[in-house]
Amino acid sequence: MRTIEYLTDPALGPLYYPGLVTAVLVALLCAPLSVLVVLKRLAFVGQGVSHAAFGGVGVAVLVAATTGAGLFGPVGQAVVGASCVGSALMIWWLSHRDRSDGGRTTRHADTAIGLVLAGSMALGLVLHRKAGELAADAGRQAPPSLESVLFGSVWEAGWPSAVAAAVLLVAVLGGLVWWRRPLIFWAFDDAAAEAAGVPTGRMRLVLLVLLALAVLAAVRLAGVVLATAMLILPGMTALELSRRLWPVVVAGFGLALASVLLGLVLSFEAEIATGPAVVFVQIGMYAVVRGVRAVRGASGSAASGAG
Amino acid sequence: MPDSDSTPSHAITVDAVSFGYPGVGDVLDRVSIDVRKGERLGVLGPNGGGKSTLLKIIMGLLRAKSGSVHVLGMDPAEARRTGRVGYLAQKVTADLAFPLSVRQVVAMPAAHRASPFGPTPKTALDAAMAALELVGATALAERPIAALSGGQLQRAMIARAVVTRPEVLLLDEPTVGIDVEGQRRFGELVEHLRRELNLTVVTVSHDLRTVATTSDRVACLRRTLHYHDAPAGLTPEVLREVFSHDVEAVFGSGTVDGHGHAHD
């Protein structure tokens, strides 16, 4: 087992700890939110927000190349965070129902996301290239590779990254606990929630901001492209396991945690990148759950047919 | 009566209300309707006649361009937000994929403002059980919402609409897509709730039979108010005026003729 060798090595082991802690925190942070993301069909919104993070990374590496501030320091994280929340707000604003005509015209979120996604990917690529040139000219450290930004590089994370993930964990879980009742009511039944006095516009905003904060954390683990896996697959699999709220939430936590840990083991053993390894494990878990259900369903109907 | 905005005997007063959407023109034109406490009012009109808009104004979700609206003597949005107005939508708008029990769903309007610390308050859970008992569905309380049949789901949704013990119940096209037997049962259930909870019931519908058989008074609405009295006084002329060429379709099996004759 390479995993045990690496992690217990007195010289190498401690280098992995910040990444390990970050990965666990990201899993715990994304798990409950992923249930709502799946139910509220916000997967594509998450995709838009995470790609918007790439635009933010572009700006952050440019700042890093010109001033020497680190990408993973407070300045860099603030820039990327601002682009996540900013893009979530822009998606909200672009797709928000315009009430001046009684809701007769609605701009749909997917159109808004298409715009934000393409725009920030374009911006991120241009700025990343520019930052590379500037850093070389100034003799500063080159920005992280495109690959690590796009697909994640959790082992490059230092303790500041783990601290950032802990702060985001408290913010996201705190927000979910604080707003859980109106949030679930609104997500479950928009019209009835509005009639009962739930501020539905505010709930939409709350969910998008929480989503943006979770994406910001998940990008560290799985990169811009794969971050949404963390925000979809644990919830998607958990919802296959139960039709009760708390079992689904608990299963979501368990699945997210297990997939991250197994993913890290897989990445050590098979020597593949961590982001893709976690995604493979998550897809595998979903496939197993669906497979078991299909087999049970088939044998159940066969049994009842025989009986 | 017109200046009795908030007299205690009235549950709802709509006074000379006009409303329009930009580019569409006025949907409601100086409409005045009053609903007495405990009364069953049916709002009848063609699609696009302004029924839904009127309902949204009574709920305080839309603001009238002119005129005034009072529900239980207060601002309509205030009455709705404080749980005094129950609302049942035409279709089930809920997402049944949610992993929620019937009791959790029914408790929602009574629980969503509770403190975020601690579990759902007992008062809300008790209110949910009481509401389920009123609709004869206590046995469903712990079932997942996705496991209900159509009829059971409708009962759960009605229970949710009255969980805050409202004084006014608004029904938006409640019998669309329900067979005759289902309509009868629904009518009985609403009547049972009305007696138990002293409800004022407003039913919006384009279906004459629904309105005529379940209302003390009828308001015929097509941009303006065409009629506002007991259903027995409805004449084919009034209905023709409101529905124009749709009369045959609306009357269906000639129920209206029956009413007209009975009254003559």
Structure confidence by residue, pLDDT tens digits, B95-107:
899 999 999 999 9
Q: Do A181 and B112 touch (CB under 8 A)?
A: yes
B201 closest CA partner among B35, B29, B16, B74 = B35
**Among chain A residues, CA nearest to B147:** A243
Q: How far apart are CA B1 and CA B34, in angstroms?
A: 9
Q: Do B83 and A102 touch (CB under 8 A)?
A: no
Q: How far apart are CA A47 and CA A120, in angstroms?
A: 12
Q: How far apart are CA B34 and CA B219, in angstroms?
A: 10
Asked if pLDDT for residue B148 goes beyond 80, the answer is yes
CB under 8 Å to B145, separation ≥6 — which residues?
B94, B96, B98, B100, B101, B102, B104, B105, B153, B156
pLDDT in tens, A196-254: 999 988 998 899 899 999 998 888 888 888 888 999 999 999 999 999 999 999 999 99
Cβ contact A37:A252 at 8 Å:
no
Identify from A188, A194, A246 which residue to disrupt to test chain B contact, counting B C-beta atoms within 10 A and taking the largest count: A188
Q: Do A196 and B112 touch (CB under 8 A)?
A: yes
Q: Which residue has the tokens 């709705």?
A: B80
Identify from A98, A184, A202, A206 which residue to disrupt to test chain B contact, counting B C-beta atoms within 10 A and taking the largest count: A184
Q: How far apart are CA A181 and CA A210, in angstroms?
A: 15
Please, which residues 211-240 of chain A have a Cβ atom closer than 8 Å to chain B? 239
- CA within 13 Å, CB half, A237: 28
Mean pLDDT, residues A139-152: 84
Which run of H or of E encompasses B149?
A: none
A181 touches chain B (CB under 8 A): yes
Q: Do B22 and A197 touch (CB under 8 A)?
A: no
Cβ contact A90:A112 at 8 Å:
yes
Mean pLDDT, residues B30-43: 91
| pLDDT (0 to 100) of residue B184 | 85
Higher pLDDT, B74 or B257: B74
Cβ contact B204:B236 at 8 Å:
no
Pairing status of strand B85-88 against strand B224-229: unpaired
Shortest Cα–Cα distance, A152 to chain B (Å): 32
A241 touches chain B (CB under 8 A): no
pLDDT in tens, A166-192: 999 999 999 999 999 999 999 999 889
Is the pTM of the predicted complex or chain greater than 0.90?
A: no
- CA within 13 Å, CB half, B87: 30
pLDDT in tens, A85-130: 888 888 877 776 544 444 444 556 777 788 888 999 999 999 999 9
Distances (CA, A) of B59 to B15, B53, B62: 15, 10, 8
Report DSSP state, residue A143.
Answer: P
A23 touches chain B (CB under 8 A): no
Contacts of B85 in chain A (CB under 8 A): 195
pLDDT in tens, B131-140: 999 999 999 9
Q: How far apart are CA B253 and CA B247, in angstroms?
A: 11
Identify from B62, B93, B106 which residue to disrupt to test chain A contact, counting A C-beta atoms within 10 A and taking the largest count: B93
Sheet with strand B217-222: strands edge to edge: B85-88, B168-172, B200-205, B40-44, B217-222, B224-229
The torsion angles phi and psi of B46, rounded to 5 degrees, stand at -75, 165
